[in-house]
Every structure is written in C-alpha cells, then in structure tokens.
Structure 1
Amino acid sequence: MTYTIQKSVTGDFDDVVETTIAALDDDGFGVLCDIDMQATLDEKLGEEFQQYRILGACNPPLAHEGLTEDVELGALLPCNVIVYEADDGDVVVSAVDPRRLVGLTDNDALASIGTEVADRFERVLEALSQEHETAESTSGD
C-alpha cells in the first residue's frame, strides 16, 4: 500500500530542507514543527542515524475546513513531510498522502480536502524538481 507522495533529488541536505519549507510556504503551508530525528536519536538513545527531518505542515484554511467537518480530524494533523538522506546519497522528500489520511475517517465530505492537499503536495515536489536535479522518482510503501 502506497501512503506517501515522494521525490528523490540530488543536492545538499540542508538546502533541500530549506527549499522544501519555502515550497510549502509558497503553496500555503506553514511548518508548525521541525523534528531533527538524527539529533533526537543521538541525544535520547546515543544512536547514530542518517540525516532525517520531519516537517509538520499545515494549511490553515484547509485544516479549518476539515476540522469544521470532523473535529476528530485533528488526530491526523498536521500532515507530515519528511526529508531524509538515502543510502545512495540522494535526498528524499516524502509527504503523507492526504487522500489516505482522510480515507481513514470514512467521511466522504473530507475527500475533496484530501485531494486538494495532495494536489498542493504534488506542486511542492515539482518545485523541488525545478530547484534540484531530480533523481529517480519513487513512491513509498
């Protein structure tokens, strides 16, 4: 089962993170949280891990629309976008597929919101392709 929308690019990890945040902003998303998993796992467990960031992205008007329809939708927010360094040195940017998320609710009224957010994430990933050389595109499982 595919549950992400993703793109692999070449470039400096930190630059790809910044480009991702800027592209999200350009499409109406704010990043509510930015979790550095590499630093967290080192600090909390003393474990080494690849460069890996979790960006909690939120589009306030769409979140408001969804929460108005189903207040429990908040358990699925914000939509996570991850940026990580793959074993081959490419940088992968992967967003949760919001159509899958809203599908969990069994609320047909949320389907259009899931589609709108997915379309916006696709544009964000396309913007990355314009800023960084695209590696082989992949989809998550």
Structure 2
Amino acid sequence: MPYTLEERVSGEFDDVVSQTEAALSDEGFGVLCDIDVQKTFAKKLDAEYRQYRILGACNPPLAKRALEEEIRLGALLPCNVVVYETDDGVRVSAVDPHELLSVVDNPALDEVADEVRERFDRVLDGLAEA
C-alpha cells in the first residue's frame, strides 16, 4: 500500500525545493527542519548520494488539534515532505497522512488527516502544474 503522495516536478533541484517550501507555506505549513541527505552522507559516510532533501513540515493549528486528541502523536510529527532526484527528473513526495495516522487507533484524528491530505494534494498539484 502506498504511504506517500508523489509528483514529478519540472525544474532544477534547488528551484523545486524552493517552490515546495513556498507551496507548503501557502497551505499554512512551515518547514521546521531541512535535512540534506546528500550532504550528510558525504560528511558522515564519505559516500556519494543523489540530491535528496527531507523537509519537516508543520501546520501549527493542525498539529495542535491532533496533539489535543493524541498526546503521543508528536512521535510522528512533523509531516515529512521529500524532494529528490531520479533518472527522469525531480520528484516531490509527501507522507500520506491517512497512512501515517492509521497506526494510531483514534478516529478523532480522521478529520485532521483529511485536512492535511487536502492541503498536500494542493501543494503537489500546484508543483506539477508549475
């Protein structure tokens, strides 16, 4: 079962990262952390790797609603959005909030998952059209 939402995006890698951050911001998400996997592997492992960035995205009002329903949910936050190179271009992948929250047996989180999914869909659709 797929656990991410994904789009192929035209453009240079760094431009796609910037566009992704802007699209997330338009949907109320801030990027709390930005992990450059390529740079980390080069420094820590002396290994080459494709361009790969993990953006830890958080929408504070939605996170607050979710945490009020399930205090331990912080272990699954922030929602990760990944920008990475492939042989056919750059892809942007976001965690599917329904799959992420399926590990928590709390139906009160369904509305939050629906809203995050709608926002991520708009982010990815907008990037694909750019």
TM superposition score normalised by structure 1: 0.91
- Asked if structure 2 preserves the Cα contact closer than 8 Å seen for 1:52 and 1:83, the reply is yes
Deviation at 1:130, TM superposition (A): 2.5
**In structure 1, C-alpha distance between the alignment counterparts of 2:54 and 2:92, rounded to whole Å:** 10
Distance 1:80 1:69 in 2: 20
Counterpart in the other structure of 1:59 = 59
Q: Which secondary structure state, in structure 2, belongs to the residue aligned with residue 113 of structure 1?
A: helix
The secondary structure found in structure 2 opposite 1:8 is strand
Q: Distance in 2 between matches of 1:41 and 1:104?
A: 30
Give, in whole Å, the separation in 2 of the partners of 1:109 and 1:80.
22
Question: Which residue number corresponds to residue 18 of structure 1?
Answer: 18
Q: Is the CA contact 1:103–1:111 (under 8 Å) kept in the aligned structure 2?
A: no
CA distance in structure 2 between the aligned counterparts of 1:126 and 1:76, rounded to whole angstroms: 24
Percent identity of paired positions between Structure 1 and Structure 2? 60
Gaps of 5+ in 2: none
Matched position secondary structure for 1:84: strand
Aligned-residue CA RMSD (Å): 0.6
Which portions of structure 1, spanning 4 or more consecutive aligned residues, are displaced by more than 6 angstroms?
none
Spell out, residue by residue over 1:5-27, the C-alpha distance to the aligned partner (whole angstroms, 9 max, x if none). 00002210000000000000000
- Is residue 91 from structure 1 mapped to residue 90 from structure 2 by the alignment? yes
- Tell me, what secondary structure is at the counterpart of 2:72? helix
Q: Structure 2 CA distance, aligned partners of 1:87 and 1:80?
A: 22
The TM-score normalised by the length of structure 2 is: 0.98
How far apart are the structure 2 equivalents of 1:24 and 1:74? Answer: 20
Aligned length: 130
Listed as ranges, the matches of 1:1-141 within 5 Å are 1-88=1-88, 90-131=89-130
Counterpart secondary structure, 1:56: strand
Structure-2 separation of matches of 1:126 and 1:95: 12
- CA drift of 1:29 comes to 0.1
